[in-house]
Chain A
Amino acid sequence: MNIFFLLITILFSGALLTFLVNKVAPKISGIVTFATIALVSFLFFTQVNIGDTFQFTLGEIPMQFGITPYTFIFAIIVLGLGTLASLYSIGYMKDQERLGYFYSNFLLSVTGMIGIVFSQDFITFFIFWEIMTWSSYLIVIYNGYNSRKIGMKYMIFSAIGAYAMLTAIVSIKANYGTFNIAEAIQNGAFNFSENIYIPVLLLVGFAVKAALMPLHVWAPNAYSKSPMSFTSIFSGAMSKMGILGIGLVLASAYSYTNHDNANYVTALRYALGWLGGITAVMATIYALIQTHAKKLLAYSSVAQLGYIIVGLSTGTELGVMAALFLAVVHGIFKGALFMVVGAVERQVGTTDMTKISGLIRKMPFTFFVALVSIIALAGVPPLGGFVGKWMLYEALITESNNYFLVIVIFFSSTAAFLYSYRFLFGLFLGQEEKETEHVKEAPITMVIPMMILAILLIVTGAFPGVLFEPIAHGMHYLGFSDVNWSMSVLVNIWGEESNMTYINLSIGVVFVVVFAFLTIKGYKGTKNVGTKDISTSGEIPTENENLTFQLDFFKPFERAAAPLYKRSMDKIWNDLGNAFEALTDFTRKIYTGNGQTYAVYVVIFLVILLLMKDTLFAN
Chain B
Amino acid sequence: MEDLGLKIFGAILTTIMAFAVGMLYGGIVRKLTARVQNRYGPPVHQNFLDLLKLQSKKTNIAHGFMGHMAPVWIIIAAVTVLMFIPILNGNLWFPNLSFHGDLIFLLYMMVFGSLGMALGAGQTGNPNSAIGVTRGLSQMVGYEIPFVLALVALMIQYKTTSVQDLTQIQHETGVWMAFSNPFSFLAALLASLGMFRYSPFDIVGAPAELASGPISEFGGKYLGTMMSGGAIFAFIKLTLYVHLFLGGAGNPDDSGILATLAGIGILLVKTFLLYMIPVFYGWINPRYRTEQAIRYFWGWPTALGIIGVLLAVFIN
Tell me the A residues contacting B by CB distance below 8 Å. 358, 360-361, 364, 371, 375, 378-381, 386, 389-390, 393-394, 397-398, 401, 403-404, 406-407, 410-411, 414-415, 417-418, 420-421, 424-425, 429-432, 492, 494, 496-499, 502-503, 506-507, 510-511, 514-515, 517-519, 521-522, 525-537, 547-549, 553-554, 556-557, 559-561
Contact = CB atoms under 8 A, between A and B. Distances in A.
Contact of B134 (A498, A499, A531, A553): A553
B105 A381 contact: yes
Interface in B46-70: 55, 57-66, 68-69
Contact of A527 (B59, B123, B127, B138): B59
A380 B59 contact: no
Nearest to A368: B65
A415 B140 CA distance: 9
B142 interface: yes
B109 A381 contact: yes
Candidate in A371, A404, A519, A560 with the most chain B CB atoms within 10 angstroms = A560
B32 interface: no
B59 A430 contact: no
B76 A525 contact: no
A510 B11 CA distance: 11
A380 B97 contact: no
A554 B135 CA distance: 8
A501 to B, nearest CB: 8
Interface in B142-167: 142, 144-145, 148-149, 152, 155-156, 159-162, 165
A389 B61 CA distance: 38
7 contacts: A390-B108, A407-B149, A421-B134, A527-B59, A556-B134, A560-B138, A560-B294
B216 interface: yes
Given A494-B160, A506-B97, A560-B295, A390 B115 contact: no
Given A358-B125, A381-B108, A557-B141, A403 B160 contact: no
B87 interface: no
Nearest to A432: B125
A397 B108 contact: no
B262 interface: no
Contacts of B68: 518-519
Contacts of B142: 560
Interface stretch (B35-43, B171-179, B219-227, B268-276): B219-227
| Most chain A CB within a 10 A radius of its CB, from B60, B68, B122 | B122
B135 A494 contact: no
A534 B125 contact: yes
Nearest to B65: A360
A540 B220 CA distance: 19
- Of all A-B residue pairs in the complex, the 4 with the closest CB atoms, nearest first, are A531-B125, A556-B290, A429-B122, A560-B294
A496 B102 contact: yes
Contact of B289 (A393, A496, A556, A561): A556
Given A403-B309, A497-B100, A430 B122 contact: yes
B222 A404 contact: no
A380 B122 contact: no
Given A421-B118, A518-B225, A397 B152 contact: yes
B298 to A, nearest CB: 7
Does more than half of chain B's interface fall in helix, strand or loop, or is it mixed? helix
B99 interface: yes
A530 B67 CA distance: 11
A340 B113 CA distance: 24
B62 A497 contact: no
Contacts of B80: 503, 506-507, 510
Contact of A393 (B71, B104, B126): B104
A498 B101 contact: yes
A379 B101 CA distance: 15
B101 A511 contact: no
Contacts of B14: none
B72 A518 contact: yes
Contacts of B144: 410-411, 414
B211 A537 contact: yes
Contacts of B165: 496
B313 interface: yes
B124 A534 contact: yes
B221 A518 contact: yes
Contact of A529 (B61, B149, B289, B306): B61
Given A401-B313, A556-B290, 20 more contacts: A394-B161, A397-B155, A410-B148, A415-B141, A417-B111, A430-B122, A494-B160, A496-B165, A497-B102, A498-B101, A506-B83, A510-B75, A510-B76, A521-B55, A526-B59, A527-B60, A527-B61, A534-B124, A559-B290, A559-B291
Contacts of A556: 134-135, 138, 289-291, 294
A514 B75 contact: yes
B137 A417 contact: yes
A397 B153 CA distance: 10
